[in-house]
Chains A and B, each alone.
Chain A
Amino acid sequence: MKVYLNKYLSLFPFLILPLVIFWNPSWFSLMGYQAYWPIIWLLPWALIHGPFKSLLVGFLLGFALDTFNSDVYSQIPGLMICGFWFGKVGRLNRFINSPFQFGLTGAIGSLICGVIYFCQMVANLLLENSPLWIFSYGVENIFAQVFLTGLLAPVFCKWLYFLFSSKYKFNI
């Protein structure tokens, strides 16, 4: 039992992640905007497991999240890129697990995912010859997500990192 819990500990937050996205807790929102929660889970996991596993997990995570929002646009490319990059950063052994590094890395990841998603929206609107009123809203939304993710990542990512790493074990 202990072996399975220690080995598959990262799976439980992964299963809770869709619930958090569905629930959209208003305590962590600022003026109606929310942090980008998938990045907060992906960052500590990718730092530990490396770039190629994180690339695959980013794909699976984006695949699952796209299902909840029946949109034309996809979160898969952004999460794959972020997973690979986070894994590479973790492999360089320069990541010293400080709150500032978690916050900055999370914010950049949120920026990457937000920009990729927004580009898909803009491309779709251009194809439909629709006016681009969404542009100012989109830019505002991206920056708000980046700010909030950078604010919450040091707290949650550090906790998740300790949970996922081999230093933390269940003693049952």
Chain B
Amino acid sequence: MVKFRRLSTSRWWNNRSTWIIIIFFSVLLIVRLSKTFIFRDLYYFITKPFWPGEYQQEILRKSLNQELNIKLNQLEKDNLRLRQLLDLQNFSADNKLNSSVILRNTDSWWKKIILNKGSQNGVRTGDVVTGPGGLIGIIENTSRLTSSVQLLTAPNSKVGVWNERANLHGLLVGIGRKNPKLIFYSKNVDIKIGDYILSSPASTILPPNIPIGIIQSIDNESEPNTIATVQLSANPEAIDWVQIFRMRL
């Protein structure tokens, strides 16, 4: 317990406001060192009464039909290769986890959403998040109760993708806008507007053949590679329920 003397005879450690500043800065330092996990977990409890209910989840199931149609076409063609990949990657339906979006920051500079599942549910950095329509993003960090998802539209987002029709691989780069850019690895590629873009089977961070989006426009004059704009099939601004695929090797 610090005892304060009269201000006229005080030194800096007798000044109440000095101690308040020190304590305040210490709290901020603790928050910084803990990387806001304490604050996020506190936010988890504050927002818990306001989470979206099961009714919205039922409504969103209808939009899954479009994703399933795309998946069905790919699964019929790549059945043998997926079985070989499953042996390597241990990716199965048992590793899926449903989660709701409790915080959405999809505008301004930062593109991320916060989910209500964390490390205590087995979620780890690098796990893949999908929603109605396809891939949404990748888990960038987890606290005990919550997880932060870096969206595909984030400026530092880079994922490997491909188009099955032309058997072309490329890199999907977030630019901060709703439609990220797709860089192909060569020039004069056989790609058309309306082609489906899926996660690459050669990717080590994503499960293969998750729907991502559709080619919206192609810039054939770009050098040295062809660059296209992709319209994402999953809209993180409208999604309240997502699935987390826990990637286990």
Note all chain A residues with C-beta closer than 8 A to B32: 63-64, 66-67
Find the A residue at minimum CB distance from B34: A67
Note all chain B residues with C-beta closer than 8 A to A133: 173, 175, 181
Note all chain B residues with C-beta closer than 8 A to A10: none
Verify if A168 is at the interface (C-beta below 8 Å from B).
no
Note all chain B residues with C-beta closer than 8 A to A60: 24-25, 28
Of B148, B173, B176, most A-chain CB atoms within 10 Å? B176
Verify if A92 is at the interface (C-beta below 8 Å from B).
no
Verify if B35 is at the interface (C-beta below 8 Å from A).
yes
Verify if A18 is at the interface (C-beta below 8 Å from B).
yes
Interface range on chain B (Cβ under 8 Å from partner)? 20 to 34
Whether A29 lies near B107 (C-beta < 8 A) is yes
Interface range on chain A (Cβ under 8 Å from partner)? 20 to 34
User: What CA separation (Å) do A24 and B24 show in the bound complex?
Assistant: 25
Whether A22 lies near B103 (C-beta < 8 A) is yes
Note all chain A residues with C-beta closer than 8 A to B173: 130, 133
Question: Do most interface residues of chain B lie in helix, strand or loop, or is the interface mixed?
Answer: mixed
Kindly identify, within residues 103 to 158 of chain B, every residue whose CB is under 8 Å from any CB belonging to chain A: 103-110, 112, 114, 140-141, 148, 155
Shortest Cβ gap from A63 to chain B (Å) = 6
User: What CA separation (Å) do A23 and B47 show in the bound complex?
Assistant: 10
Whether B108 lies near A141 (C-beta < 8 A) is yes
User: What CA separation (Å) do A121 and B173 show in the bound complex?
Assistant: 15
Interface string of A29-65 (1 = CB under 8 A from B): 1001110000000000000000000000000100110
User: What CA separation (Å) do A18 and B176 show in the bound complex?
Assistant: 22
Note all chain A residues with C-beta closer than 8 A to B86: none
Partner of A137, one of B110, B141, B148, B176: B176
Note all chain B residues with C-beta closer than 8 A to A130: 173
Verify if A19 is at the interface (C-beta below 8 Å from B).
yes
User: What CA separation (Å) do A63 and B39 show in the bound complex?
Assistant: 15
User: What CA separation (Å) do A32 and B103 show in the bound complex?
Assistant: 15
Q: 18 A–B contact pairs at CB < 8 A?
A: A22-B43, A23-B103, A24-B103, A24-B104, A32-B106, A34-B107, A34-B108, A60-B25, A67-B35, A67-B36, A68-B36, A69-B112, A70-B35, A117-B109, A133-B175, A134-B175, A134-B176, A138-B176
| B interface list, Cβ under 8 A from A | 24-25, 28, 31-32, 35-36, 39, 43, 46, 103-110, 112, 114, 140-141, 148, 155, 173, 175-177, 181, 237
Known: A68-B39, A71-B109. 13 other contacts (CB 8 A): A19-B46, A22-B103, A32-B237, A33-B107, A63-B28, A63-B32, A70-B140, A121-B155, A130-B173, A133-B173, A134-B175, A137-B177, A138-B176
**Across the A-B interface, the 7 shortest Cβ-Cβ residue pairs:** A137-B176, A133-B175, A67-B32, A32-B107, A69-B110, A67-B36, A137-B177
